[in-house]
């Protein structure tokens, strides 16, 4: 590791993070690699492949993480959490690396956690980001080991991980959970897909997650990635005209982020609109209900809480926030 460096990050990524932190000094960051360095993998490529499973290589990868956390801290950017592998069941043409649940357990328990402890790092270790609904093969396999469990601060899920988050919350109700990557669509940025994103948000929030990460924030028109996948964004930019447009999912995220404050507690809802709504009590005592009317016509909503009744008409195909 004598030649470890974040010079590449210092060209573009670190200045971007610093600008974001100037606007939000309370911004916290987690890191999740898509691939280990190629010299640690077989085959030696960022896309596809696996980590070479030898003691020396595993210790080297743990030290690589240590160096990364230390280098960012030296640059004035603390990394609050490390999610050790982005999408461990993705073997794809973009940077990726396959892991089994047992391998993640062993690496955290025998290599990563001891390395962080030996170097005095307080960065949290998370099991993630899991893109699989295989609850037994990943969360249960890892968390059933008492030593690994003691080292893990939370579990993160994305994509097919939506099918395991409920069981994780039921199994470890005090454990923090995160939705770590919003499903990013096809680049058309339709209102129909925005309603799907609302349903994803509701699914994760009502099944115990403490945070929801949107992907992507800003993209060029059409959202074409370097590997040919068109994706949605909250904001799209027309490079030639130097203009931008707010897309439907911007408004979905605004309904949640504008009114629900950090530290809010989710409230249980019952009734005919409970299946398309989420409610929270903010630290200041105010209640916030975010409701989706996915139907083509206006719909009446009656909200009862603490002896109060609020009656409103939800416009067709609309997102709504009620604060009281």
> Does residue 270 sit in the same domain as residue 255?
no
pLDDT value of position 306: 83
Prior bond of 43 cis (ω within 30°): yes
C-alpha–C-alpha distance, residues 214 and 197, integer Å: 10
Is residue 36 situated within a structural domain? yes
Contact predicate 290/305, CB 8 Å:
no
> Does residue 120 sit in the same domain as residue 187?
yes
Strands 176-181 and 81-83: unpaired
> Does residue 173 sit in the same domain as residue 292?
no
Is residue 242 situated within a structural domain? yes
> Does residue 203 sit in the same domain as residue 238?
yes
> Does residue 188 sit in the same domain as residue 118?
yes
CATH code of the domain covering residue 223: 3.20.20.80
Contact predicate 134/163, CB 8 Å:
no
Last residue in a domain, options 263, 283, 314: 263
> Does residue 306 sit in the same domain as residue 177?
no
User: What residues make up the domain containing 148?
Assistant: 7-263
Is residue 181 situated within a structural domain? yes
pLDDT value of position 61: 98
Contact predicate 101/142, CB 8 Å:
yes
pLDDT value of position 282: 97
Is residue 2 situated within a structural domain? no
> Does residue 232 sit in the same domain as residue 281?
no
Classify residue 76 as left (phi > 0), alpha (psi -120 to 50) or beta.
Answer: left
Which element (helix H / strand E) includes 179?
strand 176-181
> Does residue 286 sit in the same domain as residue 296?
yes
CATH code of the domain covering residue 315: 2.60.40.1180
Is residue 173 situated within a structural domain? yes
Which element (helix H / strand E) includes 130?
strand 124-130
Q: Which residue in the block uniquely carries the two structure tokens 């249980």?
A: 268
pLDDT mean for each 10 residues of the chain (324 residues): 92 96 95 97 96 98 98 97 97 94 98 98 97 98 98 98 98 97 96 98 97 95 89 96 97 96 95 96 96 97 90 96 93
Q: What does pTM read for this prediction?
A: 0.95
pLDDT value of position 324: 87
> Does residue 56 sit in the same domain as residue 176?
yes
The total number of structural domains that make up the chain: 2
> Does residue 140 sit in the same domain as residue 43?
yes
Last residue in a domain, options 214, 234, 263: 263
C-alpha–C-alpha distance, residues 216 and 210, integer Å: 20
Last residue in a domain, options 233, 263, 293: 263
Q: Token pair for residue 194?
A: 């925005």
Q: Token pair for residue 99?
A: 């892991």
> Does residue 230 sit in the same domain as residue 282?
no
Is residue 139 situated within a structural domain? yes
Count of C-beta atoms within a 10 Å radius of residue 148? 22
> Does residue 174 sit in the same domain as residue 273?
no
Is residue 23 situated within a structural domain? yes
Is residue 1 situated within a structural domain? no
């Amino acid at each position: 590791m004598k030649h470890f460096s974040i010079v590449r990050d210092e060209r573009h990524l670190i200045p971007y993070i610093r600008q974001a932190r100037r606007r939000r000094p309370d911004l916290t960051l987690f890191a999740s690699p898509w691939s280990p360095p190629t010299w640690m993998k077989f085959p030696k490529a960022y896309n596809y492949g696996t980590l070479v499973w030898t003691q020396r290589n595993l210790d080297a990868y743990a030290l690589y993480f240590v160096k990364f956390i230390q280098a960012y801290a030296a640059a004035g950017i603390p990394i609050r959490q490390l999610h050790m592998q982005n999408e461990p069941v993705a073997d794809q043409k973009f940077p990726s690396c396959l892991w089994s649940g047992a391998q993640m357990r062993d690496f955290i328990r025998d290599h990563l956690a001891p390395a962080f402890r030996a170097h005095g790092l307080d960065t949290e270790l998370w099991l993630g980001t899991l893109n699989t609904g295989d609850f037994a093969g990943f969360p249960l396999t890892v968390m059933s080991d008492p030593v690994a469990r003691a080292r893990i601060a939370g579990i993160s899920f994305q994509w097919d991980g939506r099918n395991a988050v409920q069981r994780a919350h039921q199994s470890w109700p005090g454990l923090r959970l995160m939705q770590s990557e919003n499903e990013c669509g096809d680049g058309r940025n339709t209102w129909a897909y925005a309603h799907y994103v609302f349903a994803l948000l509701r699914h994760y929030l009502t099944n115990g997650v403490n945070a929801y990460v949107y992907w992507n924030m800003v993209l060029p028109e059409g959202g074409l990635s370097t590997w040919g996948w068109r994706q949605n964004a909250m904001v799209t930019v027309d490079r030639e005209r130097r203009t931008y447009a707010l897309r439907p999912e911007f408004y979905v995220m605004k309904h949640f982020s504008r009114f629900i404050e950090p530290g809010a507690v989710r409230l249980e809802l019952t009734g005919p609109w409970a299946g398309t709504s989420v409610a929270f009590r903010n630290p200041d005592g105010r209640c916030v209900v975010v409701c989706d009317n996915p139907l083509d016509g206006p719909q009446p909503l009656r909200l009862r809480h603490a002896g109060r009744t609020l009656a409103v008409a939800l416009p067709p195909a609309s997102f709504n926030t009620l604060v009281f």
